Amino acid sequence: MGEFLQFSVTGLTIGSIYAIVALGFVTIYSVTKVINLAQGEFVMLGGMIMFTFLNIGINYWISFLLTLILVMIIGWLVEWTIIRRAKGADPISLIILTIGIAIFIRGVASVVWGKGQVRIPAFSSNQSINIGPASITPQSMWVVFIMLLVVIFLYILIDKTIVGKAFQACSANPPAARLMGISPARMSSFSFTLSAGLGALAGLAVAPILFPAYDMGVMLGIKGFSAAILGGLGSAPGAVAGGLIIGFLESYGAGYISSGLKDAIAFTAILLILLIRPSGILGEKNVGKGGL
């Protein structure tokens, strides 16, 4: 029983890290139908820029805000300088462009921060909390908390505001949206800025757990992307469900079957789920309706 509890807590920790990264994929996809494969790099930038600010002695929470703003500016720049110029290209070409962006950001990061990992202090104390026989660090609980906050924020933004309606309109039918006076270009720019911000937030939340380095975006990108696909691309609650399912599968797989096979177990399960529900757990069968 004690073991089961610890495996579950670890699964929750891992799963919410994947989920929080997956939310960034979902935001861009639901507006532009582009899968931004540089999302993991935004997460990395969140961690590394925070490290730089802390290093020059800026207060923790001010650094936190500055990092968010800076990464959002980078996200906006990426959209403005590269994605926007390729206007009219089909989503596949744009996805390939984002791979290039990812490699570029990674290269620059390795020059700026070197190849080593860095340590970033946790939000609050490092003292682990015991839940019966299992233990969890406060930072893991912060990750879960921030993840829930982001989902609620996205829900309100998309379903309760005019901006959200515009998002949905652009996704469903860009020409019609334009006729209604909505600029798809501006919405695309906004979605990149927003998802860079979400990526940075994810990076800030997981950095104290993961020891970020220039290449951490690769692993997080793959896992986050898998979570987003599993949940049904375009669905924020789906991304969370997908992330948590992968986290639990990995933890139970490592705990009860074999730690060497845990990735194989997790991804076999993902394949099976996708075979049964090709559109993902919470994905809509009728693609093209748009919205998160």
Q: Which of 99, 259, 264, 288 binds another protein (CB under 8 A)?
A: 259
Of the two residues 37 and 216, which places its CB atom closer to another protein in the complex?
216
115 interacts with another protein by CB under 8 A: yes
Beta strand spans in the chain (E)? 129-131, 134-136
Of the two residues 1 and 276, which places its CB atom closer to another protein in the complex?
1
Helices first, then strands: H and E counts in the chain: 11, 2
Token pair belonging to 247: 């986290």
d(CA 283, CA 285): 6
Q: Which stretch binds another protein (CB under 8 A): 146-154, 166-174, 253-261, 283-291?
A: 253-261
**Distance in Å, CB of 229 to another protein, minimum:** 20
234: Cβ contacts below 8 Å, ≥ 6 apart: 26, 29, 30, 171, 283, 284, 290, 291, 292
267 interacts with another protein by CB under 8 A: no
Q: Which of 30, 36, 98, 137 binds another protein (CB under 8 A)?
A: 137
263 interacts with another protein by CB under 8 A: yes
d(CA 85, CA 34): 15
135 interacts with another protein by CB under 8 A: yes
Q: Which of 31, 37, 200, 216 binds another protein (CB under 8 A)?
A: 216
260 interacts with another protein by CB under 8 A: yes
Handedness of CA 2, 230, 225, 253 (dihedral sign): positive
Of the two residues 49 and 246, which places its CB atom closer to another protein in the complex?
246
214 interacts with another protein by CB under 8 A: no
Of the two residues 81 and 126, which places its CB atom closer to another protein in the complex?
126
**Distance in Å, CB of 143 to another protein, minimum:** 10
Of the two residues 13 and 32, which places its CB atom closer to another protein in the complex?
13
d(CA 20, CA 38): 15
How many residues bind to another protein according to rule CB under 8 A? 32
Of the two residues 154 and 239, which places its CB atom closer to another protein in the complex?
239
Q: Do residues 147 and 201 make contact, with C-beta atoms less than 8 angstroms apart? A: no
Distance of CA 226 to CAs 184, 194, 202, 211, Å? 27, 21, 16, 22
Q: What is the dihedral of CA 209, 215, 221, 223, to 10 degrees?
A: -60
Q: Do residues 217 and 15 make contact, with C-beta atoms less than 8 angstroms apart? A: no
Q: Could you list the residues that contact another protein (CB under 8 A)?
A: 3, 6-7, 9-11, 13-14, 17, 115-117, 119, 126, 128, 135-137, 140, 206, 209-211, 213, 216, 219, 251, 254-255, 259-260, 263
